[in-house]
Amino acid sequence: MRCPYCGNDDTQVKDSRPTEDSGAIRRRRVCNACGGRFTTFERVQLRDMTVVKKSGRKVPFDREKLSRSVFTALRKRSVDPERVERMISGIVRQLESLGDTEITSDQIGTFVMEGLKSLDDVAFVRFASVYKNFSSADDFRSFLAELGPGENDLRDQHH
């Protein structure tokens, strides 16, 4: 595993344990070159999945890409990273439980939207704006109107 501080490949595992949801192994590592300490998470992938894009192009499923898009939507939001990791692991499990080796980008987007809706309203709308390809403020207004009044009513929230 490459050291995130100096880039050296000579790192050593100091501690390994399963995560709370048992979906990964948490490893504490130390770099033998610079002495930097860091944590990695290693996951078991049950099957190779292929993502079918809207264009029809097929690419290998990449959990890191899923994670980056979720964390981008959550940027500068105070949400516990452990909750985010649990949500991402849950999405991957949902995708794997579909039983298909090919999944559509729409299926992934739908699962992410469901997860973010219960995690953080602002991140939910941010992700929706990219996923649904919003092009104007009216797209936001229409989307928020579809949510309707209630606990997900973002119109009255001012941060």
- Average pLDDT of span 119-124: 92
- Reduced to 3 states, what is the DSSP secondary structure of residue 39? strand
| Mean pLDDT score across all residues of the chain | 86
Residue (of 67, 80, 69) closest to 126 by Cα position: 69
pLDDT band at 47 (very low <50, low <70, confident <90, very high): low
Q: pLDDT by residue (tens digit) across 79-102?
A: 998 899 899 989 998 998 888 889
pLDDT of 159 higher than 80: no
| CB of 119 closer than 8 Å to CB of 87 | yes
> Which residue ranges make up each domain of the chain?
8-44, 46-153
Q: How far apart, in whole angstroms, are the C-alpha atoms of residue 55 and residue 88?
A: 25
DSSP conformational letter for 24 = E
- Average pLDDT of span 5-9: 92
CA distances from 139 to 3, 54, 120, 157 (A): 43, 20, 20, 18
Which pLDDT value is given to residue 107? 94
Q: pLDDT by residue (tens digit) across 34-45?
A: 999 999 888 665
| CB of 53 closer than 8 Å to CB of 106 | no
